[in-house]
Amino acid sequence: MDFHLSTPVAYVIFNRPDCVRQSFDSIRKVKPAELYIIADGPRDDHPEDRELCAECRNIVEKVDWECKVYRNYSETNMGCGMRPATGFTWVFSKTDRAIIVEDDCVPSMSFYLFCQEMLERYKDDARIYSVSGMNFGFTSDNGADYYFTHYNNTWGWATWRRVWDKYDFGVSSFPDDGCEEVFLDIMLEPAFVRYWYNHFRRAYEKSDLSAWDYQFTYLSFINQGLHIYPQKNLVSYRGFDENATHTVSVPKGHRLNYSTKETKDLSFPLINPLAIQADFRIDYLIMREIFNVSTGDLKACKKLPEGLVKEIKQFQEIIIYGAGAVCRDVIWLLGRENIDRFKIAVTKKEGNEKQYVMGNEVRELSDYRELADGAIVLIAVTKKYEEPMIDNLKKLGFERYVGVSE
């Protein structure tokens, strides 16, 4: 792919020359017309930093294409919270948009094209707060090449001045009397709200100055912002090692390990979503599988038999019939088996507003009548309520169903 990038790139480096060589090579391939380099200074208690920081800066001096280069280098160590935050403020004082790459992220060529197109398409849409190149292996069934979530990701991303101008490192508006209610409207689960509320409280109290992105997430949540994710992963993350600040190591079988290494290319022109709205299923999966937040103890359904799990995996369409406590347990258990594509149905919805269970929209079973021949239905209610539900399944032509409560 041979093209020159017209969108500015902001590049964050510190003391990892091996990472810098790889990520800077990806920038060199797309030849941005403007490059903003943000570098932190060496730490006083790490004598090796001085040489490593100098080596990283020497690598990025080799700009061998036509490019305006702007440098914001700190001679003292500001830390991985304040240094990026102040650096991005500097970047957006000079440009209205930027693609942002940190040294441990190696984007594909599609990443830069994707960000450039999204930044232009949604430049005036106040609902959109950022564009992500990483998708953690999550895909939406919206029929498009990208989707929207409520959760930002900064392992290769892009945003606008109109968003960053509202950024507040000290989250001075927290705690606002109404913020928990706003968070619950977004996250739907009290456990998720508690997780983020605690992080935001620490940022507000300045008990954790090693992060800048929690503050960006707070900004997004209180404004109910949306973030664009590609259907294919466009960034390879190389930061899982002993030199990292936050993600030093990740278990081998964790999604962060197996979904963040390989990149794929998107096909252009892109297919755009028909609606601008968050995919609540992916919102839920991000909290459960990336942030490892449990929604509580399983009470109604303790386990799924091994034979049933194998049977479920053979079906393209999985319907959970019931939207109460058993349904929540089943969603959790399916997630543990890496089954994250399912629909939730009830016999009759109450009211006209959309309803969700753990990030998944609830619809009436009759809406899925056309799936009767090829779907398996998990009856997610306590056993005393199963009989009328089975009668309803038979009336609508569903033949494969099983009760899953104990």
Beta bridge partners of 375: 317
Residues 220 and 272 placed together within one structural domain of the fold: yes
Q: Is 280 left (phi over 0), alpha (psi -120 to 50) or beta?
A: alpha
Identify whether residues 324 and 353 lie together within a single domain. Answer: yes
* Structural domain includes residue 2: no
Q: Which of 356, 367, 285 is nearest to 327 (CA)?
A: 356
Q: Is there a domain that residue 358 lies in?
A: yes
The domain boundary, picked from 261, 289, 317, lies at 289
Place 360 in a pLDDT band, splitting at 50, 70 and 90: confident
For residue 296, being part of any structural domain is answered with no
CATH number of the domain bearing residue 319: 3.40.50.20
Both 44 and 106 in a single domain? yes
Do 184 and 313 lie in a common domain? no
Is 266 or 350 the better-scoring residue by pLDDT?
266
**CA 345, 346, 352, 358 torsion-angle sign:** negative
Q: Has residue 4 been placed in a domain?
A: no
Predicted confidence (pLDDT) at residue 96 exceeds the cutoff of 60:
yes
Residues 98-151 have pLDDT tens digits of: 999 999 999 999 999 999 999 999 999 999 999 999 999 999 989 999 999 999
Select from 238, 258, 289 the last residue of a domain: 289
In a domain, 299, yes or no: no
Residue 123 belongs to a domain with what CATH number?
Answer: 3.90.550.10
392 inside domain:
yes
For the segment 31-62, what is each residue's pLDDT rounded down to a tens digit? 999 999 999 999 999 999 999 999 999 999 99
Model pTM score: 0.84
Query: Where is the domain boundary, 241, 260, 289?
Result: 289
Q: Are residues 255 and 363 in the same domain?
A: no
Residue 332 CA to residue 155 CA, distance in Å, equals 27
Distance CA 73, CA 82 (A): 13
- State which residues form the domain around 330: 306-403
Query: In this structure, is residue 181 part of a structural domain?
Result: yes
CA distance 43 to 121: 41
Task: Check whether 294 has a pLDDT greater than 90.
Answer: no
Max distance between CA atoms of the chain, in angstroms, equals 74
- Indicate whether 249 pLDDT > 60: no
pLDDT of residue 244: 46
Which pLDDT value is given to residue 234? 98
Residues 280 and 185 in one domain: yes
Mean local confidence (pLDDT), 200-223:
91
Cα→Cα distances 347→102, 317, 394, 405, Å: 49, 18, 13, 18
Q: 199 and 59 share a domain?
A: yes
Which helix (H) or strand (E) covers residue 181, if one does?
helix 179-187
For residue 337, give the nearest of 356, 370, 314 by alpha carbon: 314
Domain co-membership, 384 together with 282:
no
Identify the band that residue 248 occupies on the pLDDT scale cut at 50, 70 and 90.
Answer: very low
Q: Are residues 130 and 172 in the same domain?
A: yes
Considering the domain architecture, whether residues 343 and 271 belong to the same structural domain is answered as no
182 shares its domain with 314: no
Domain total in the chain: 2
Asked if residue 245 belongs to a domain, the reply is yes
For residues 368 and 265, give the distance between their C-alpha atoms in angstroms, rounded to a whole number.
34
What is the reported pLDDT for 246? 42
pLDDT of 299 over the 80 cut: no
Q: What is the pLDDT of residues 391-404, one digit of tens each?
A: 999 999 999 999 99
pLDDT of 300 reads 77
DSSP state, 338? T
Predicted local distance difference test score (pLDDT) of residue 32: 97
Backbone torsions φ then ψ of 390, nearest 5 degrees = -65, -40
Q: Taking all residues of the chain, what is their mean pLDDT, rounded to a whole number?
A: 91
The reply to whether 114 and 205 lie within a common domain is yes
